[in-house]
Amino acid sequence: MISKKMAQTLNKQLNNELYSAYLYLSMSSFTTFIGLKGAANWFMVQYQEEMTHAMKFYDYLNSQGEHAQLAAIAAPPTEFGTLLSMFEQTLKHEQFITKCINDLMDQAVKEKDHATQIFLQWFVTEQIEEEGNDNDIIARLKLVGDSTQGLMMIDRDLAARVFTPPAAPA
């Protein structure tokens, strides 16, 4: 059982995760449009991951006797600039998500809601990985600067990313 206030904030995060999915889907289309097929694949995998994040919140709400209250999803941008700028925007968005998860965790601790703390632990770890991936790619993009050859090399690497559904809880 979770409090009504907790259910409300978990529902808000469900919406944030759906927005994340929407944002990366839009980025995937944009990178296809500008000829960066590898980056398009990377953002498509990111979209798929975000959908699994959203579904974790959806399932958790039901498991706690609540239900998902689906709200409107804001429209993401449709133009993103350079690939470096796109990954900087991605990092900024993920830092916002990290803050949301931290705030949720603070609320769960305050309410002595141990179940929600355990549930959120997965997201705390996930955010370390997400920010780390973005920082790595940003560093590489800065390194190659204006080199088209360098950009193409990074794009080839981004093409290798595959979607792996998160393991079911033990």
Residue 15 makes contact with ligand OFO by CB under 6 A: no
Residue 94 makes contact with ligand OFO by CB under 6 A: yes
3-class SS letters over 6-28:
HHHHHHHHHHHHHHHHHHHHHHH
Q: How far is CA 147 from CA 11, 19, 41, 154, in A?
A: 44, 33, 21, 11
Residue 134 makes contact with ligand OFO by CB under 6 A: no
CB of 90 to ligand OFO, least distance (A): 8
CB of 83 to ligand OFO, least distance (A): 18
Select 30 or 151, whichever has its Cβ closest to ligand OFO: 30
Residue 20 makes contact with ligand OFO by CB under 6 A: yes
Number of helices (H) and strands (E) in the chain: give both, helices first: 5, 0
Select 1 or 167, whichever has its Cβ closest to ligand OFO: 167
- Report whether 30 contacts 76 (CB < 8 A): no
Question: Largest Cα–Cα distance of the chain, in whole Å?
Answer: 55
> Within 13 Å, how many C-alpha atoms sit on residue 135's CB side?
7
- Here the contacts of 128-133 (C-beta below 8 Å, separation 24 or greater) are 130/94, 130/97, 131/91, 131/94, 131/95, 131/98
Residue 39 makes contact with ligand OFO by CB under 6 A: no
Chosen residue from 43, 53, 87, 154 binding ligand OFO by CB under 6 A: 53
Chosen residue from 7, 11, 17, 138 binding ligand OFO by CB under 6 A: 17
Task: Sort residue 115 into left (φ over 0), alpha (ψ -120 to 50) or beta.
Answer: alpha
Chosen residue from 7, 50, 108, 154 binding ligand OFO by CB under 6 A: 50
Residue 97 makes contact with ligand OFO by CB under 6 A: yes
Residue 88 makes contact with ligand OFO by CB under 6 A: no
**Rule CB under 6 A: which residues touch ligand OFO?**
17, 20, 50, 53, 94, 97, 126, 130
